[in-house]
Chains A and B, each alone.
Chain A
């Protein structure tokens, strides 16, 4: 499973990104990511999830997951992240920071 993750925007406008192939990860780490993707219902999420409340300087997340023959990209505002997707975004943000 391949995961491309980008966080952009925010007041600082700094780009934070990581590309992961779960094959290259230790088993436990790969299993965790695969579970987080499953739990989020990732392939059923809308392509664009925006906040109705407006505002400015929120982060914008863009995730692409490719698995087998299928691939799905979700762009979501920090203000509108579905509960189920939050743990995956938190983990990928840590990975992008090298944690």
Chain B
């Protein structure tokens, strides 16, 4: 079974746990805890739940607060503090890139979308550079951004591309908003969101309009040894690289080429090419700075209307709806959204197909959910 997911994890997705922890009545909290206690198998989720309840103390800090750490080529996090908010530049270029990049990203969310950090409440932006040795990756661990130095042969340090920083930070925004499942279509949308806002922070930093931007992800990341221009291309998914060692960019640009795979959580870094390209088309169609209209439509739709199971068709319908609300029904912007989705093979307005449920979710007992909210267990 390749898609096994614990039934309890299906019933109580993390955003809901958090909601209950923050807003639930005492009875609801008790019921949720009691239900979770029922099985030793879900000990980890219970721990996360308890943590969520404890960590609900609101961060008093408001505004931009960045902290950059170094793991000194080990793997413990966050590592040693190298530069705190307001401190002068470090001698370490990766530290400064993480600091400046997360600052530019904070500004994009704050200045354009009036969002105060990842959680909307001034959460401190923690980054760690020099993670592990020759580490060819960057990630969001649920609490902070982490960057490897790259192997030097194929990859440079991961802070070198500001869109990589924007990508990781946006995973944090997604976690605090739609909380899209990191699997299959919701996972590919989660990835796409990170690429989109990663590209937008790069475009805003460079002052580029949609037609001036390169729409590449990780352009500076690849060394001279790699035959390719970047890791991904939103303008032309599937064309970013074609290298004897790394292989060929596997991203599709259209639903007819959607990749079904068990790897990479169901191809989340592959099928993100489809919504990535839809966004590119609509942004160019709208013209001007992509973060102003296209970015706003996607941000607002994800913040207010997406949930953890939103798939491509739902995303198309919801971005279309939000474009109508923000710019008017039948507006150029709303037509552009329809065109973007249409070019990747998705027609707005079509009823989303029920998503195939991962194993275990079908068995979710409705009574359990009811008991959670009635306070009985």
Residues of A within 8 A of B (CB): 6, 8-15, 47-48, 52-60, 62, 75, 79
Contacts and interface: CB of A to CB of B under 8 A. Distances in A.
Interface residues of B, number: 41
A54 B137 contact: no
A79 B143 CA distance: 13
A53 B246 contact: no
A60 B141 contact: no
A52 B48 contact: yes
A47 B44 CA distance: 17
Contacts of A75: 2, 262
Contacts of A13: 231-232, 250, 264, 268-270
B368 interface: no
Q: Taking chain A's interface residues, is the majority helix, strand, or loop, or is none over half, making it mixed?
A: loop
Contact of B263 (A8, A11, A47): A8
Contacts of A11: 137-139, 158, 164, 167-168, 218, 231, 269
A14 B246 contact: yes
B190 A56 contact: yes
Nearest to A75: B2
B1 A47 contact: yes
A9 B141 contact: no
Contacts of B141: 53, 55, 58, 79
Given A10-B136, A13-B268, A52-B48, 4 more contacts: A9-B263, A10-B269, A14-B247, A53-B143
A50 B285 CA distance: 41
Nearest to B141: A55
Interface string B158-175: 100000100110010011
B142 interface: yes
Interface in B134-166: 136-143, 155, 158, 164
Contacts of B45: 52
Contacts of A55: 139-142, 171
21 contacts: A8-B264, A9-B264, A9-B268, A9-B269, A11-B167, A11-B269, A12-B231, A13-B231, A13-B268, A15-B263, A47-B4, A52-B45, A53-B48, A53-B141, A55-B171, A56-B139, A56-B140, A57-B171, A58-B137, A58-B141, A59-B137
B182 interface: yes
Contacts of B136: 10, 12, 14
B264 A58 contact: no
Of B139, B191, B231, the most chain A CB neighbours within 10 A belong to B139
Interface in B1-44: 1-2, 4, 14, 44
A8 B270 CA distance: 11
A10 B190 contact: no
Contacts of A62: 262-263
Contacts of B247: 14-15
B1 to A, nearest CB: 7
Contacts of A56: 139-140, 168, 171, 174, 182, 190-191, 194
Nearest to A61: B263
A9 B265 CA distance: 8
Interface in B172-196: 174-175, 182, 190-191, 194
Nearest to A10: B137
Contacts of B182: 54, 56
B47 A52 contact: yes
The 6 closest A-B pairs by CB, nearest first: A13-B269, A52-B44, A8-B263, A57-B139, A8-B264, A56-B171
A55 B206 CA distance: 29
Interface string B257-271: 000001111001110
Contacts of B138: 11, 57
